[in-house]
Amino acid sequence: MALNRKVGFFKGLKYKGGGPMWAWVLHRTSGLAMVVFVGLHIIAGFLTQQFGSEAGIAINTIYENDIFQLVIFFLVIFHAVNGLRVVILDLITPLLEYQREAIWLEWLIIMALYSLVIFSVLHDVMMG
């Protein structure tokens, strides 16, 4: 009997698609992470309204944590810039020939924006 065609998550990740494939994987992951972040935000607001501020504050402390902020900002910036890259390449098809250069440009923009976030978060931590 033939083996099932199913390609599981980890089996798929082992395929060596290189930078563009990892950009797609991270795009999906960052999208999910943002759903979790916004979900926490909504739950915090709901709990505060229903049961008083104690419960809401407990959740707020998770996403107001500096590490959480650094991670979520990276994911939001990546998701936005990578999404723009894909939309631009999809709409202006002749640019698809320069997809490798587009990935480099994308990371340049991400690092520039993210360094501002790092500076801002570190500034807050140091100034208390």
Positions touching other proteins (CB under 8 A) are 1-5, 7, 11-12, 14-18, 20-21, 24, 86, 89-90, 93-94, 96-97, 99
Cβ proximity to other proteins: between 1 and 67 the closer is: 1
Q: Smallest distance from the beta carbon of 77 to other proteins, in angstroms?
A: 19
CA distances from 88 to 94, 96, 121 (A): 10, 9, 31
The three-state secondary structure class of 11 is helix
**Rounded to 5°, angle at Cα 23 from 21 and 27:** 120
Q: Smallest distance from the beta carbon of 36 to other proteins, in angstroms?
A: 22
Q: Smallest distance from the beta carbon of 1 to other proteins, in angstroms?
A: 5
Cβ proximity to other proteins: between 44 and 78 the closer is: 78
CB contact at 8 A, 114 and 77? yes
Cβ proximity to other proteins: between 9 and 126 the closer is: 9
The three-state secondary structure class of 18 is coil
